[in-house]
A and B are shown apart, each in its own frame.
Chain A
Amino acid sequence: MISVCSENPYNGIVPNNKKQKEILEGITMKKALSALIAGAMILSMTACGATSSSTANTSSAAETSSSAAASTEATGTVSGSVTTGGSTSVEKVILSLSEAFMQENPDVDITYDPTGSGAGITGASDGTLDIGLSSRNLKEDETGLVATTFALDGIAIIVNNENTVEDLTLEQIKGLATGEITNWSEVGGPDQPVVLVGREAGSGTRDGFESIVGVEDACVYEQELTSTGAVIAAVAANPNAFGYASLSAVDDTVKAVTVGGVEATEATVQDGTYAIQRPFVFVTKEGEELSDAAQAFIDYATSDAVNEIIANAGAVPVA
């Protein structure tokens, strides 16, 4: 067809404006491009075949680089570098804190490796990390370690403003999240279906909500969104919805319910009465002296001076 038009002998039937001509040319370009892509594909495939053994190595590159970062750890006291790692949920807080600390102490270099709370605790215990980061308290069998809480994470349960439900127990939240409770009337609300709006897999808030409520990998989501703001917007838009969001992000477009009669506020998180919260902790080895830089960082991060930084990062400072 295209060639018909480019060689078209009939007047007035050729592309009748510039725009159409451009489109036609666009197609031919696309054609050329796909030929190139095909060529490139063949090239890279052969390249791949030749180095197939090295491909396997690249797969673990991410891991190696992370452990490499961890092993540059400073055992000496003068090097001024501090390696931290662990919980992904603490990322925002720890990065804000370390940035502020490094600004005050330009000779200190703090690294953070988001590997998960478990890995953070293991790292602290086997010495690959100066400071392990965890978003839960130590378990009983995790001995020989010291946990220092530097911030708290409160997660609000939010519903649409039209929803008449004011209070939910942890048990009810669990039922709503897992799909056992499918209608709001079962928990004293209006006769309408329940829709859970949450965060994507890997999000710290999702991990926090699911682990505190005890619904790991059992939630029946209707929407998985990639930011706290999007969750709040989605809950605000759907009268059936409920979701979870960092305490600091909740505004009046949605309603935060009380959990077991306790309102979600900074104060109730700090005094421990609000149930859906967890601590962000530094994990260090018991009885072992930290490097000056690491100790200085812990002292800094647990001082009152950083309360604002912690609050800005979406967490609740320790009272």
Chain B
Amino acid sequence: MKVKKAIESVMNVLFALCGLFSVAAVALITGYMIVAGIPAIREIGLVNFLFGTEWASTAADPKFGILPFILTSIWGTLGAVVIGVPIGLLTAVFLSKIAPPRVAAVVRPAVDLLAGIPSVVYGLIGMMVLVPAVMDIFNLKSGTCLFAAILVLAVMILPSIVSVSETALNAVPREYEEASLALGATQIETVFRVSIPAAKSGIAAGVVLGVGRAIGEAMAVMMVAGNVANMPGLFKSVRFLTTAVASEMSYASGLQKQALFSIALVLFCFIMIINSILNFVLKKGDKA
């Protein structure tokens, strides 16, 4: 008996330690981001840093304006959402309401598999297939552009949108739908007027998760976006917040390196905001 009790308490401590480990990791990362990111912002000036339109980190007269990166990240994510959400939502509707079980049994694992593909593979295929295709179709001089990145991101955010939306749609009480059908609504009307509105907070959570993935993605976009610090344009070579950090880190020194940490801090803030939105959406969903 005593031994059992001892094991219990030892295990309790072990669980607590494991729990603390992730808290410590988060605290460490947050603390480090702030400590490492603030100096360059101080030196450059917050306004110059956030709203400067020119980035020339190694020029004789260096410029550290990250507005192009911020806008690119926002536009890129927005574009991915515009393309990915309709496709993802309709896939979820299909899986949840329309598809015969056998078809769903093929589509669902395929979507899940999409989530498991490493981002470098997305980037590679984007680079080898998508970029030349974009170049041909739109008659561009170079296919590496924001548009190519948006397409890659749109595919990458599909799994989180589909899975979470499907779960939410499945959770809509069948009575709602049956009532709608009994009142003479068609299946499509029922889906769009009853099921989706009833599942909207779950769908929103899926979209926010997708946004989180899109804004934090570095490897895949680095391989298709061209990485030039231009102000964003659909067919221009652009650099995202993530790729701005990743591409220059290896040889950076001095203020350039510190500025990269500051970019990471800005990115970190973006992710924090998205996380709190997710929190808010879910809380609202709980109350509803």
A contacts, CB < 8 Å to B: 1-5, 8, 10, 12-16, 19-20, 23-24, 27, 30-31, 33-38, 40-41, 43-45, 47-48, 55-56, 58-59, 62-63, 88, 114-116, 192-195, 200-204, 207, 216-217, 221-226, 233-234, 237-238, 240-241
A16 CA / B105 CA spacing, docked (Å)? 13
Closest B residue to A59 by CB, please name it. Answer: B39
Complex Cα spacing A234 to B132, Å: 10
By a beta-carbon cutoff of 8 Å, the part of chain B in contact with chain A is 22-23, 26-27, 30-31, 34-36, 38-40, 42-43, 56-60, 108, 112, 127-128, 131-132, 135, 141-144, 163-164, 166-168, 170-175, 198-202, 205, 209, 222, 226-228, 237, 239, 246-248, 250-254, 256-258, 272, 275-276, 278-279, 282, 285-286, 288
B226 and A224 contact, CB distance less than 8 A: yes
Whether B278 pairs with A224 at a CB distance below 8 angstroms is no
The residues of A that contact B60 with a CB separation of less than 8 Å are 216-217
B229 and chain A: residue at smallest CB distance: A224
The reply to whether B173 and A8 form a contact with Cβ atoms under 8 Å apart is yes
B254: which of A2, A63, A201 is its contact (CB, 8 Å)? A63
Contact B250 A27 (CB under 8 A): no
Contact (A223, B228) CB under 8 Å given A5-B167, A20-B166: yes
Q: Given contacts A20-B170, A116-B253, A222-B226, could you give 10 more A-B pairs where the C-beta distance is less than 8 Å? A: A10-B173, A23-B164, A37-B272, A40-B27, A48-B34, A48-B38, A59-B258, A217-B60, A224-B247, A234-B144
**Inter-subunit contact A1/B59 (CB<8 Å):** no
Which of B34, B58, B258 is the most central at the interface, judged by chain A CB atoms within 10 Å of its CB?
B58
B285 touches A31 (CB 8 A): no
User: Which residues of A are found within 8 Å of B288, using beta-carbon distances?
Assistant: 1, 4
| A43 and B27 alpha carbons, distance in the complex (Å) | 8
How many angstroms from the CA of A193 to the CA of B235 in the assembled complex? 15
**CB nearest to A216 among chain B residues:** B60
Contact between chains at A2 and B282 (CB < 8 Å): yes
Inter-chain contacts of A1 with B (CB < 8 A):
168, 171, 198-202, 205, 285, 288
A10 vs B59: C-alpha distance when bound (angstroms): 65
25 contacts between A and B (CB under 8 A): A1-B199, A1-B202, A1-B285, A2-B171, A2-B202, A2-B282, A10-B173, A20-B166, A23-B163, A34-B276, A35-B279, A36-B23, A40-B26, A44-B27, A44-B34, A63-B254, A88-B251, A200-B247, A216-B59, A216-B60, A223-B237, A226-B222, A226-B247, A233-B127, A237-B127
Q: Which residue of B lies closest to A194 (CB)?
A: B141
A204 CA to B251 CA, complexed, in Å:
8
A-B pairs with lowest CB-CB distance, top 7: A59-B39, A5-B171, A202-B251, A193-B141, A34-B275, A44-B31, A1-B202
Contact B142 A240 (CB under 8 A): yes
Residues in B whose Cβ lies below 8 Å from that of A10:
173-175
A-B CB pair tally, cutoff 8 Å: 196
Give min CB distance, B28 to chain A, whole Å. 9
- Cβ A222 vs Cβ B144 within 8 A: yes
The distance in angstroms between the C-alpha atoms of A12 and B170, with both chains bound, is: 9
Could you tell me the distance in whole angstroms from the C-beta of A20 to the nearest C-beta in chain B? 4
Q: Contacts A35-B279, A38-B276 known; A45 to B168 CB distance under 8 Å?
A: no
Q: How far is the CA of A37 from the CA of B268 in the complex (A)?
A: 11
Per DSSP, chain B at the interface is helix
Residues of A within 8 A of B168 (CB): 1-2, 5
- Do A217 and B56 have beta carbons less than 8 Å apart? yes
Docked complex Cα distance between A62 and B39 (Å): 12
Inter-chain CA distance A27–B281, complex, in Å, is: 11
Question: What A residues does B272 contact at CB under 8 A?
Answer: 34, 37-38, 41
Which residues of A have CB within 8 Å of B172? 13
CA distance A3 to B287 in the complex (A): 8
Given contacts A1-B202, A14-B171, A202-B58, contact A224 B227 (CB under 8 A): yes
Question: Which A residue sits closest to B169, measured CB to CB?
Answer: A1
From the candidates A23, A55, A203, A223, name the one contacting B35 in the complex (CB within 8 A). A55
Q: Identify the interface centre among A58, A224, A233: most chain B CB within 10 Å of its CB.
A: A224
Which B residues lie within 8 Å of A114 (CB)? 251, 253
- Considering the complex, give the chain A residue whose CB is closest to the CB of B128: A237
Contacts of A224 in B (CB 8 A): 226-228, 239, 247
A33 to B226, CA, bound (A): 34
In the complex, chain A residues whose CB is within 8 Å of the CB of B38: 48, 55, 59
Q: Report which of B142, B256, B282 forms a contact with A241, defined as CB distance below 8 A.
A: B142
B206 to chain A, nearest CB (A): 9
Cα of A318 to Cα of B132 in the assembled complex, Å: 41
